[in-house]
Structure 1
Amino acid sequence: MPPYAALRAFEAVGQLGGIRRAAQELGIDHAAVSRHLRALEDWAGVKLIDRTQGGRLTPEGAKYLARISAALEEISRATLDLTRRGDDSRLVIWSVPGFAYRWLIRRLPDFYAAHPGFDLEVRPTDHTPDFGRHEADADIRYIRDMSAPGDTDVQAMEIARPVVFPAASPEVAARIGQGAPAEALLAETLLHEDDDSEWRTWLAARQVEVPERLGGPRLWHAHLTLDAARRGQGVVLTNALLAGDELAAGQLVDLSLQPAEPEIRFGGYAFRARKDRWRDPAITKFRRWLEREAARDAGVA
């Protein structure tokens, strides 16, 4: 085996495209990187860097880089697994923003009270983490179909599958009227996240003939549509999990339009983690706390 420091220096040069950049990444002097490269070339008996071409990799160097990069990445992943396994006080969680802002954040003090000293990092994001690259230990996503085939290396637990309903500010609700027909919404400003598909599905289920185009702003995040509705800017399609605070405070009103049936549940919030880490102490602590909190909240039923 060649010296590990020489391999690491060569991999950094190849990935970053230069000795100086590699030196900055590794936190060492660029002269030390050059010495590592020469030591590796002397050890292998093959030129890996073409110094007449600005330090570009030779064909042999490019082939070697492709293979050792995968090996070094695997060493890094294995080491992270080794050092994190058994750590019952640290967790990095990514979450769909609406759930993080509207439900999770106000319950975290209870989690910290039950688990003092726990180091929890929550990142609201629309992106799903790459568990293989250790971008997160766990993830909370809104999943339309929990029974659909997914990543075989990932295990998931449904947190809640709430009923969705239209809500508006008290002023807008008074203008529409409680118990009004669902068709009345076609005359209102409808607030959308990324598209109008959810409104179309909900209206069609209430036997409303949906026009070819549904107007209304696209706001992309649930907490933005709720804020706009609270300010009287339109009608939001939401659920008690996200809108519980505003409903309890009277800032939003469930419109209770007719017909009242059927109930619509678009999808569920799911807690996800790698299968081989599902029972890790930190993940188990948070997952069980999440289950208890969801069970106590009637709004997520």
Structure 2
Amino acid sequence: MLPPLKALPVFEAVARLNSFSRAATELNVSQSAISHQIRVLEDYLGESLFQRQGRYLALTQEGKNYLDVVSSSLSHIARASNQIRGEEDTKIRIAVYSSFAVCWLMPRLSDLQHKHPNLDITITMTHGSPELSDKTADCFITTDTEKRGFEYQLLYKETLFPVCSHAFYEQIKNTLNVTSDELSKRLKDEPELLENFPLITSNGIYNEYTEDWRSWFLERGIPLSNNIKFHKFSHLILAYEAAKYSLGIALVNDYMFSDKDTHSALVRLPSHRIYTNDHFFFSYKTSRRNETAIKALKQWILNEASSLNTLA
């Protein structure tokens, strides 16, 4: 048996706006009408959907679970109705890791706009893995492949390699008294030479400072020295910026640094790279795979990302 259908968009609005009064304004009804519909729905379900303490309003656990289903269902109904009416939905929201958004997606948005001028895209940056849910976004860049009902298109298998600024690169050559060709040969044979220079570490990937460099050295059977000077940053973007401003040598990945970018502020040092355990995917609900906006964005991102794994 279906619940009282008039109450569902009211519940979604209150939950999304976290306010009875703002929901009333959006739906152009009185606040008492909003309260009545929520009470009708709670009576039908036999559960409280909101916790109310004075001005404080929050979803209960039952409310959170119910919102995910209701929000998704209402979105499906709206999109299906628009398609029948011949109204193509070009609005799309994508949730992206902050480093991926800033370093890879932003520089390419003008190309996306040129190729898909009608696409109305909203970008949300996330520090950790975004919650795969319609209430978060329509599609995602994620390393999480555990959510049922979603499709995943592989974009990139993450690797890390050392980079530094052009000025710091010259400092390395001068300190070691070598040419660029000689430095290339020596670093391939003796990666431990980097222990003589400040190294930049972040804890965003390995969740612990210096573990990125420990893994890099161990790839060549070299234990991490206790004498290395480290600059520590909480995020890979900060490590990238620190390297750009000549604080030392950082480990970055392909989407933050392109060998084809002749204007890059960083120089890739001629040495080995390591694979992390992270694979990046473009993800979206399987039930939404035929939507015009998702199909357009997916094809564009896959085309743009095709060069990432060719750099290894």
TM over 0.5: yes
In 1: Cα distance, 2:136 partner to 2:94 partner? 9
Specify the alignment match of 1:58 in structure 2: none
SS in 2 for 1:286: helix
126-135 vs 238-247, which moves further: 238-247
Q: Which aligned segments of 4 or more residues in structure 1 are displaced greater than 6 angstroms?
A: 65-69
In 1: Cα distance, 2:158 partner to 2:219 partner? 16
TM-score when scaled to structure 1? 0.72
2:264 corresponds to 1:268: no
C-alpha contact 1:97 1:221 (8 A) present in aligned 2: no
241-250 vs 106-115, which moves further: 241-250
Specify the alignment match of 2:213 in structure 1: 199
102-111 vs 157-166, which moves further: 157-166
C-alpha contact 1:190 1:216 (8 A) present in aligned 2: yes
Specify the alignment match of 1:160 in structure 2: 156
Aligned letter for 1:211? S
Aligned letter for 2:281? A
Specify the alignment match of 1:285 in structure 2: 296
Residue 212 to residue 153, structure 1, CA distance change in 2 (3 Å):
farther
Report deviation, 1:184.
Answer: 2.0
In 1: Cα distance, 2:171 partner to 2:267 partner? 12
Report deviation, 1:133.
Answer: 4.5
In 1: Cα distance, 2:101 partner to 2:78 partner? 27
C-alpha contact 1:155 1:273 (8 A) present in aligned 2: yes
Specify the alignment match of 2:78 in structure 1: 83
C-alpha contact 1:90 1:118 (8 A) present in aligned 2: yes
SS in 2 for 1:176: helix
TM-score when scaled to structure 2? 0.70
Residue 291 to residue 244, structure 1, CA distance change in 2 (3 Å):
same
Q: Which residue of 162, 176, 182 maps to 2:191?
A: 182
Aligned letter for 2:247? Q
Q: Which residue of 216, 241, 245 maps to 1:231?
A: 245
Residue 192 to residue 24, structure 1, CA distance change in 2 (3 Å):
same
190-199 vs 114-123, which moves further: 190-199
Aligned letter for 2:69? E
In 1: Cα distance, 2:77 partner to 2:34 partner? 29
Specify the alignment match of 1:105 in structure 2: 106
Report deviation, 1:171.
Answer: 2.7
Residue 217 to residue 117, structure 1, CA distance change in 2 (3 Å):
same
Residue 158 to residue 12, structure 1, CA distance change in 2 (3 Å):
closer
Report deviation, 1:138.
Answer: 1.0
C-alpha contact 2:233 2:239 (8 A) present in aligned 1: yes
2:290 corresponds to 1:294: no
Report deviation, 1:95.
Answer: 0.8
Residue 245 to residue 222, structure 1, CA distance change in 2 (3 Å):
farther
Specify the alignment match of 1:131 in structure 2: 132
C-alpha contact 1:162 1:299 (8 A) present in aligned 2: no
List alignment gaps of at least 5 residues for structure 1: 56-64
Residue 229 to residue 83, structure 1, CA distance change in 2 (3 Å):
same
68-77 vs 110-119, which moves further: 68-77
Residue 297 to residue 24, structure 1, CA distance change in 2 (3 Å):
closer
C-alpha contact 2:200 2:230 (8 A) present in aligned 1: yes
Q: CA RMSD in A?
A: 4.0
C-alpha contact 2:71 2:134 (8 A) present in aligned 1: no
- Larger Rg, first or second structure (1 or 2): 1
C-alpha contact 1:96 1:125 (8 A) present in aligned 2: yes
In 1: Cα distance, 2:156 partner to 2:67 partner? 40
CA offset digits 1:99-123 (Å, max 9, x no partner): 1111111111111111112101112
Higher strand share: 2
Specify the alignment match of 1:243 in structure 2: 257
117-126 vs 190-199, which moves further: 190-199
In 2: Cα distance, 1:276 partner to 1:219 partner? 40
C-alpha contact 1:164 1:264 (8 A) present in aligned 2: yes
Specify the alignment match of 1:60 in structure 2: none
SS in 2 for 1:248: coil
Aligned letter for 2:191? A
Total equivalences in the alignment: 269
In 2: Cα distance, 1:7 partner to 1:277 partner? 21
Residue 136 to residue 213, structure 1, CA distance change in 2 (3 Å):
farther
Report deviation, 1:232.
Answer: 0.5
Aligned letter for 1:129? P
